[in-house]
Copies of this chain bind each other. A is one copy, B any other.
Amino acid sequence: MENVVSIILTAGASKRIKSNQSKVFHEAAEKSLIEYVYSTAKKISPKNIIFVCNKANINQITKNFTQAKTILQKKTKGTADAVLCTKNLLPKNKDVIILFGDVPLIKSGSINRLIKTHKSSNGIGCLLAFKAKNPQGYGRVEIIGNKVKKVTEEVQANKKIKQINLCNSGIMICKQDFLFSNLISINDKNIKKEKFITDIFEIAYKSKKPFLFTMCNEKELQGVNTREDLIKMDITIQNEIKKKLIQNGVTILQPETVRVSYDTKIAKDCTIEPFVVIKKGVIIKKNVTIKSHSVIESSIIGEGSIIGPSARIRPYSVIGKKVKIGNFVEIKNSKIKDSTSINHLSYIGDSTIGKNVNIGAGTITCNYDGKKKNKTIIKDNVFVGSNTSIVAPLTIGSNSTIGAGSVITKNVPSNSLAIERTEQKNIKKK
């Protein structure tokens, strides 16, 4: 589909989100709004994506999307002006698709339908329209047959126009030459004193080259203006993911009290208990139970393992099969092999733990010396007694035992007992 170029508009002022951070970098289900749109644009025109930015976000966008181009719209003079800014960046002869950084749920399928309708007609352009349950606030689309006659913004609509429930998504495709030779004639003589790209439809109609339109589900066109919109979208995206997981054989108990992410993968016959938080990058294999109040991020949980309650698996951890990670246990950047148990009140960081290891309650890997993070290696079949401190870097050989309450600072050979402890004294009270 490389005969199109995607322009993503992100230069809006977005005051209603009430944030010092650019609106398009706010996240829903652990992914920023702009990344959703970018992922979709990548499927449409991977090598031809241009962001129109404002002063507040151009640096962050340029840094985050190195394969796309960015251009600054110096002042918020409207969408027509924003698109015009891209003029010198555009590859010749490619049709232009307009997308919005704050309309993240649009699917590539809908855009492909838009392109197809456009290409098959050999017309000037095509608009993605939708029937709104409640059209208030949206531009209304007047049509004649399959052609767009005019789009009128809510503020300028009379009673009759307001009764139309066919609405403008803003998303469109248009021949580049036509678009750019007409955008310059759009003026800002309206209440908002902005140059609206929506004026293009009447211009096209009047010059006998009307836009077509194709329909899209309203759900995909949900935009984010306020924090409330953001919070609702976060829930909407999650609900769709949870629904699919459940249909594929995952038991998510009291699903409204569970948090999942845009990319959460959970296999059949897993149980996710209430109040579990699954952040991005998580893959959970078959027959796993994640108990309440656990938090998992960017990790893999192996088949048949039981995690929690109140366990935290931090990024870059790989948990093997039939592993038990119990309450108040934190695992960070560690590999835990099959059939190992870490059941209570422990911190395992930057470690590799072998198979069939038992880590006693209150065990701490002292991985940080104030300067750098050090690695702990515990081999198969080790028994670590409770309340032990393991001062990394070190290795504990297979089949060894560590006495409870020890501070282990040196390597332990295999088949050994390591202990650091002095004599207990019982002194009669007077």
User: Is B427 touching A407 in the complex (CB atoms < 8 A)?
Assistant: no
Instruction: Tell whether A370 pairs with B389 under 8 Å between CB atoms, given A21-B269, A295-B293, A413-B426.
Output: no
User: Is A426 touching B415 in the complex (CB atoms < 8 A)?
Assistant: no
User: Is A413 touching B428 in the complex (CB atoms < 8 A)?
Assistant: yes
Copies of this chain, count: 3
Interface residues in A7-56 (C-beta closer than 8 Å to B): 17-21, 26
* Interface size, A (range): 35 or more
- Segment from A143-151, A177-185, A416-424 that makes contact with B: A416-424
User: Is A407 touching B424 in the complex (CB atoms < 8 A)?
Assistant: yes
User: Is A428 touching B415 in the complex (CB atoms < 8 A)?
Assistant: yes
The 8 A CB mask of A355-378 against B (1 = contact, 0 = none) is: 000101110111010100000000
Instruction: Tell whether A277 pairs with B275 under 8 Å between CB atoms, given A246-B231, A416-B429.
Output: yes
Interface residues in A380-430 (C-beta closer than 8 Å to B): 383, 385-387, 389, 391, 399-401, 403-410, 412-413, 415-429
The 8 A CB mask of A196-240 against B (1 = contact, 0 = none) is: 000000000000000000000000000000111011001100100
Docked Cα-Cα span, A345 to B419, in Å, equals 23
Docked Cα-Cα span, A405 to B275, in Å, equals 34
- Segment from A63-71, A79-87, A252-260 that makes contact with B: A252-260
A280 adjacent to chain B (CB < 8 Å): no
Q: How far is the CB of A236 from the nearest CB of chain B, in Å?
A: 12
Which residues of the other chain, B, contact A404 by a CB distance below 8 angstroms? 364, 366, 389, 391, 407
Q: How far is the CB of A296 from the nearest CB of chain B, in Å?
A: 11
Docked Cα-Cα span, A364 to B416, in Å, equals 23
User: Is B389 touching A417 in the complex (CB atoms < 8 A)?
Assistant: no
A379 adjacent to chain B (CB < 8 Å): no
User: Is B20 touching A268 in the complex (CB atoms < 8 A)?
Assistant: yes
Docked Cα-Cα span, A297 to B27, in Å, equals 28
Docked Cα-Cα span, A399 to B428, in Å, equals 11
For the A-B complex with A259-B274, A412-B426, A417-B429 known, give 11 more contacts whose Cβ atoms are closer than 8 Å. A18-B268, A227-B247, A275-B277, A293-B295, A295-B310, A310-B310, A327-B328, A362-B387, A406-B424, A409-B424, A420-B421
A–B Cβ pairs within 8 angstroms, 26 of them: A18-B247, A228-B247, A231-B254, A231-B255, A235-B254, A256-B256, A275-B293, A292-B293, A292-B295, A310-B310, A310-B328, A328-B330, A330-B344, A344-B364, A364-B386, A386-B389, A387-B387, A389-B405, A391-B404, A399-B429, A405-B406, A407-B421, A410-B424, A416-B426, A416-B428, A417-B427
